[in-house]
Amino acid sequence: MIHRSFFRPHTILTALLFLGVASLAAAAQDRSSPAVSDSVTFFLLPTAEGQTREMYTISGGAFSTPFTLIYGAVLVRHGHDAFLFDTGLGEQVDNQFEQDMPWWARPFFEYEKQQSVLKQIEADSTLPRPTRIFLSHGHWDHAGGLVDFPDLPVWVPQQEYDFIHSEGPPAVFPSQFTLPDSQWHIYDFEAKNYAGFEHSLDLYGDGSVVLVLMGGHTPGSVGLFINRSHGRNYLFPGDLVWNHDQIDRQKGKFWLSRLLADYDSERVDEVIRKLHDLLIKQPALQIIPAHDARSWDRIIREH
């Protein structure tokens, strides 16, 4: 997701029609939540929160229905290894915003910061220290914390590396990608079908952590499956959907959000259908969109 997609509202025209309705909130629930004990564990680390309207997140959504947004990262531990899936908004996001967000967009791209991933890890000795970072995609609200971890390699597929280095503001902030070439790790997927996705990568070779190439939202958008014992399985699809109801209803984003945010809307629709079919086959699968606070809260309540 990128904030230009919401535009608080999305464009000047929409702003005139709905001025002042999509204001951000400063509610700051603790959404850090470890999963139960197993060989693979994850932690949800929020870094910001806000409020918009359901209509901006799903085609046919209600303007009268509020929708809480979450901005954060997933910290995954597997044995003695750990990595971040996205970084949320980092310590330097205010400076990044000032430097790279176009003047015409700033009034619409507000955010309410919470504690950065770096500060959360420093403050909690029970959290594992990541050794690398995987990006679901390169939009600025997912990559804001990269500069907080200058020594960690950043893993992306070639398609997303190319997108990051060719796209500009307001989608991608150059100030967030200051790492040297040696810190980039371009990885390849295998041509192995996993859960209906044609390209996958079993990160540890034991089926517990699997990356899949989704595309659509950006050329190299990646989804993360975490499979734990006793059938506790999770999918983090990044911004393929913003609202879990998109999967249930097989709906894309609000038309303007699609236009502004999704690189290939037809591919997004195709993947939404895949996720809908997957939930029919695996109803216990927990799909956790990156910005749907309801999904984050549900995982916390259940674990």
pLDDT score recorded for residue 6: 37
pLDDT tens, residue by residue, 108-135: 667 788 999 999 999 999 999 999 999 9
What beta strand segments (E) does 17-173 contain? 40-53, 66-78, 81-85, 112-113, 132-134, 154-156
pLDDT for the residue numbered 122? 97
pLDDT digits (tens, 9 = 90+) for 156-206: 999 999 999 998 888 887 888 888 888 999 999 999 999 999 999 999 999
Quick count: other Cβ atoms within 10 Å of Cβ 80?
7
Dihedral angle, C-alpha 164, 165, 169, 175, nearest 10 °: 90
Q: Over the chain (303 residues), what is each successive 10-residue block's mean pLDDT?
A: 37 28 36 54 93 84 88 96 96 84 72 92 96 96 94 97 90 84 93 96 96 96 93 93 90 82 89 95 94 87 67
Residue with tokens 């990568």: 201
The Cα-based distances of 194 to 96, 113, 119, 124, 199 in angstroms read: 37, 36, 35, 35, 7
Query: Is residue 100 a contact partner of residue 54, using CB atoms and an 8 Å limit?
Result: no
Q: How far is CA 75 from the centre of its chain?
A: 12
Given this model, what pLDDT does residue 32 score? 44
Looking at the structure of the chain, the number of domains it has is: 1
For residue 283, the enclosing domain spans 3-302
Task: Please give, one letter per residue, the 3-state secondary structure of 163-212.
Answer: HHCCCCCCCCCHHHCCCCHHHEEECCCECCCECCECCEEECCCCCCEEEE
Question: If DSSP codes are grouped into helix, strand and coil, which group holds residue 156?
Answer: strand
Q: What is the pLDDT of residue 26?
A: 34
The radius of gyration of the chain's CA atoms, rounded to the nearest angstrom, is 18
pLDDT, residue 107, reads 63
Residue 7 has a pLDDT of 33
SS3 of 286, please? strand
Q: Are 186 and 156 in contact (CB under 8 A)?
A: yes
SS3 (DSSP) at 87: coil
Q: Residue 229's pLDDT is what?
A: 81
Question: Which CATH number belongs to the domain containing residue 255 in this structure?
Answer: 3.60.15.10
